[in-house]
Structure 1
Amino acid sequence: MPDSRYVKEPTYKKLITGELERFDDRNTGFSRGHIEGNKYTAMHNQCIENFKKSRPGQNILDHATWVAGATVDYVVRANLLGRETKPIYNTEYRLKNPDPVALTRIIKEKACWIGADMVGVAKLNPSWIYTHWGHQNVRYSHAAEVGDPIEIPPEFNMVIVMIHEMGYEAIQRSPGIEYDTDIAYSKGAWCTSSLATFIAELGYRAIPSVNELGIDIAMAVDAGLGEMGRNGLLITRDYGPRVRISKVFTNLPLIPDSPIDIGVQKVTTQTSANLNVSGSQPSSPRAMWARALYSE
């Protein structure tokens, strides 16, 4: 893959030919699965049968490992994500006259100290915020009701995006239960809630989120953490698509990062015809863009 370079605007910009409309979280793949509940019932019944047969990667030990990995995600999401973080101790003092350059560096240092593998900053594009709460995020966050409108106040004009690596060896064991996916979700929940608390204790406002509220992939691209992939995922320079994403919306005065070009658009456009033997990948750049946005 070609060397990476910073660019003035995200590489997806050339694929946008009209006005973007905000997407409804009720129409994401996760939410549609809840609406079409019979599919979840069939999947659950199949999992029980797999437990009985003790199939490698699908037995009860694998199931227990998966749920253990998701524990922090479940607990934090139900109590802290998708809503504004309140300070625990400092309710009176606010950091005075912060230098945006120095503060951006400090925020990135704290994010990595908390546990993020990569971190970037972007101006929040309102187009990436969902219009309404969907079934999946309501079920786990308890922050709203299905169909409630989502509006991020204009004061939250910056988004801090964090990347959480998934283990290479664990992901190689697909199609078994990918428990490393859920422990990465737990890392994301831990990191975004902890960073939001740090910001709140400075006297500023913060809303932590993993899958809630908006489209992670687009925000990560804006924050210079990677590019859109033809597989519908974020492609990072260091970890490829083997990541999960978390974010914090904030009113901190920060310096946004520049988008990055790591050659993904060029490589996928040139090689897709030769590599897409099964026909399972989108056949055009615009189809790739739509899939990346709306498949979360």
Structure 2
Amino acid sequence: MADIIIRPITSKADYKRFVDLPFRLYADDPNWVPPLKGEALGLLLSEKNGWFSHAKAQLFLAERGGELVGRISAHIDTLALTMPAEQGFGPGVGQWGLFDAVDGAVAARLIATAEDWLRTQGMTRALGPISMSIWEEPGLLIEGFDHAPTIMMGHAKPEYRGWIEAAGYAGVKQLMTYDLDITQDFPPIVRRIIQSGERNERIRVREVDKSKFEEEAAIILNILNDAWSDNWGFVPLTPPEIKDVGVKLKPIVFNDLIRIAELDGKPVAFMITLPDLNEAIKPL
């Protein structure tokens, strides 16, 4: 068998091959949802992704016998390095993600290459897969291969878990998704809480104003940074990232699907309902 060659991305053509690889590897997976290629490429480019304002990354391709057989990213989020270690990141913790491989041998070489790069950058631990920001697609699918992911959730091959664990990794946190039949009424206790809030004159729940969407997005994401600051894996969203999120969300949201709650006129909470774009993208 030909040797496995791992090399860093060096050209625009390499970026295209990096983005295109999953389309071949998941071609026979009925539950894989293809990303929009322009958006997938934009996440890799510093000029199009605000996350790079506080992070750096190196992308790698794996080749064998002239064929592309795997990919991985190694990256360092400087804000994650400043977080408390008990929240998952902290000093010396680098990350890897955007992982795909055709077999266990390729997977082992890719992970080792990502770890080697992180060591050269002074990192002492590796956390992965995280693709690439904690706010994008963190984690590895280990259950639920029989149905397509909802928007913002990742998908993976069942073999990946064994290959990653063989490299010495173990689970540190579970990320769950839930499916709820919203045609059913809320339980009585929830209805009573809602009614109590509606009677409280200090509380106002309003729709967002899409004509001021950047300002509204900033309000929402500032609340998010505050509310999630003690959560595992938290890294604050920065102004460039907040702007990116606003640009992405504006075309797919309606005023009545995003609500901001104010207490005495000050924004203190929000709710976002997003259409599951994967249902529209999957048939493409």
TM-score (norm 2): 0.26
Larger-gyration structure (1/2)? 2
Q: Where is the helix percentage greater, Structure 1 or Structure 2?
A: 1
> Which structure has more RCO (C-alpha within 8 Å, separation ≥ 6)?
1
TM-score (norm 1): 0.25
Q: Where is the strand percentage greater, Structure 1 or Structure 2?
A: 2
